Structure 1
Amino acid sequence: MTILLLLGACSKTPTPSSAAPAATSVSTYVAIARGRVDVQGGLVHVAAARDGIVAELPKAIDDDVKAGDALVVLDTKQAKIALDAARAEHNAATAQAMMLRAKQPGLKLRAARVAEAASAGATTGQSADDARQALAELDAEIAVADANVETAKQKVRQAEYEIDARTLRAPVAGRVIACATHIGDVVSPSSGELIELLPDAPRVVRAELNEGFVNKVGVGMSAEISSETDPGKPQTARVIRIGEVFGPSKLNESAQEATDARDVECLLELPNNDLKIGQRVQVRFLPAGK
């Protein structure tokens, strides 16, 4: 009897309350992508426009700059010599033109008198022709002198431009974040960037959308942005642009994976500047309306 009771107890079907619940997980995101923090318009790289020796570095790393501020000044001794020579040539050409113009009233008066005398029979017609010819030749010399003045003026402008080209200026307002040169260095346009600027512009995330998710994401949608190394509390960003061209991934660490993937760039605007430029993030796109 005891054995039968034990067998009956083992064969009972468990009640619903004792059964394990089925775990279900429904994703709240329409797409997930990798991304990198950037600044709108990108970092600004300033390079030398001319060969030269670095004479001054008016700004240091972490200095704030305004558009037009000098960042690197190259030696201008040779350029200033060329400017002085151009100015001297301009002055000489101007003086020559002024001297020729000073003769013009006298020749005009002489030509008029000779013509009047010739009409009265007091002199020959040849004398009148000679006077007119002399005035015409003077007018031609003045025209040449004026052209020489204009040419000399252009040489002065070119020399001034060459001096200005030896001062590297900030194209936008921002902050100096890197300097790759020192006073006394010989630089040239092939030297690459000398100064790197972080412009005063909003931070953005450049995410890579796989071709399977492109049609699920649209401009104006929100997304959660979290750091790959320190997720913490995610920021909410807004999609402001989706690219038109597919290309290989730039964020995959595996070369093979980067070659096989076909992604399109998605640009998102961040609400603040808490994340660092270049920081890798994960982007989780929320359904429209959230």
Structure 2
Amino acid sequence: MTFSVKNFALRLAQPAAPRWGLGAAMLACVWLSACSPSGREASAEPVQASPKAPRALALARGKVDVEGGLLVLPAGAEGVVQQLKVKDGQRVQAGQVLLRLGDAAAQADVAVAESEEQLAQARLAARTARLPVLQQTLTRWQTAAKQGAADGQQVEEAAQALRDAQSEQAIAKAEVQVAQRKQAQLRALLTRQELRAPEAGTVVRVQSHVGAHVAPGTPTVVLLPERALIVRAELNESFASAVREGMPATVVIDGDAGAAQRLPAAKVLRISPVFGVGQLQEDTQRGPVRVIECVLVFDQPPVARVGQNVRVTFHE
């Protein structure tokens, strides 16, 4: 084989007729490459089979959601919107003020309660200041009575005066406590004029404006809580026995914008124990479809939005 290759190469080195020189050179390159060890090794490599795709057991349609859904925050009291502190799309932290109502009457009640507490504190201080004097007076009369310079009536009168002063002091203390509790109650009512975010999230929609009059319970702000995204899938009753908790699933965005976008792998978190009426599918001949709601969680945070329609494929 080596001798033949060498002779063939020598012939290629000699001048040749133009009509076949180029073809002979190409043929020699192909023959040499075929006889090389690398060509033999490449042809001997085994072809690896592609992994078998998991078998689909059920299909369902669903929507992207968060556990508990969107939060519709109502006004806690009646009043006029005095300050609007957020706007649509703004991220907020837990406890952050979203809006504030104006209520002059409630603020006036708090001011009156503060004055009442100050008056009760002053009355308590005055009655407390009398006690040492009355105690000293009683002690002098008791000493005088022991020495025969005073009778028992005078001692009893001094003791009664001290007891009366102590009772007045106790009443004054109770008045202070009542005033403080009344003030705390009015301040609690005043805090209802403020709407605060119950948890971190994003403002989806503000349903009021400055100057608007709202009543207690009026929806004012819709908040998307900062929680993990889930999928609520409607499983047709014909697939009810095929799906179980923990089963893996493939989720893709169900839309008309070209190829379907595949989301991270998911698994079944829980399955509703009752049937319901499908909201995402309907049989035009039979009418509403009976479905079971399945909640799925993602293995990784997906790039999706709450409310997006998805298609779910449940696997073995």
TM-score range, shorter chain: 0.7 to 0.9
Distance 1:93 1:65 in 2: 42
Which residue in the other structure is 2:315 paired with? 286
List per-residue Cα deviations over 1:50-76 (Å, max 9, x = no partner).
111001111111112111111111014
Change (3 A) 1:133 1:212: farther
Structure 1 unaligned segments of length 5 or more: list them.
1-25
Which residue in the other structure is 2:204 paired with? 177
List per-residue Cα deviations over 1:92-136 (Å, max 9, x = no partner).
000000000000000011111112222332222121111111111
Structure 2 unaligned segments of length 5 or more: list them.
1-52
Which residue in the other structure is 2:187 paired with? 160
Matches within 5 A, 1:145-156: 145-156=172-183
Moved more, 170-179 or 33-42: 33-42
Change (3 A) 1:250 1:167: farther
Alpha-carbon offset, residue 159 of structure 1: 2.2
Distance 1:38 1:270 in 2: 15
Distance 1:162 1:76 in 2: 10
Distance 1:177 1:262 in 2: 29
Which residue in the other structure is 2:72 paired with? 45
CA contact (8 A) 2:93 2:197 kept: yes
Alpha-carbon offset, residue 41 of structure 1: 3.4
Matches within 5 A, 1:238-249: 238-239=266-267, 241-249=269-277
How many residues were matched structurally? 260
Secondary structure of 1:261's aligned partner? strand
Matches within 5 A, 1:167-246: 167-191=194-218, 193-230=219-256, 232-239=260-267, 241-246=269-274
Change (3 A) 1:115 1:198: same
Alpha-carbon offset, residue 158 of structure 1: 1.7
Q: Does 1:72 align with 2:99?
A: yes
State the AA in 1 paired with 2:265.
A
Alpha-carbon offset, residue 266 of structure 1: 2.5
Change (3 A) 1:262 1:46: same
Secondary structure of 1:92's aligned partner? helix
- With the length of structure 1 as denominator, give the TM-score of the two structures: 0.81
Distance 1:40 1:270 in 2: 16
Secondary structure of 1:245's aligned partner? coil
RMSD: 2.4
Which residue in the other structure is 2:13 paired with? none
Distance 2:164 2:170 in 1: 10
- With the length of structure 2 as denominator, give the TM-score of the two structures: 0.75
Name the % identity.
31
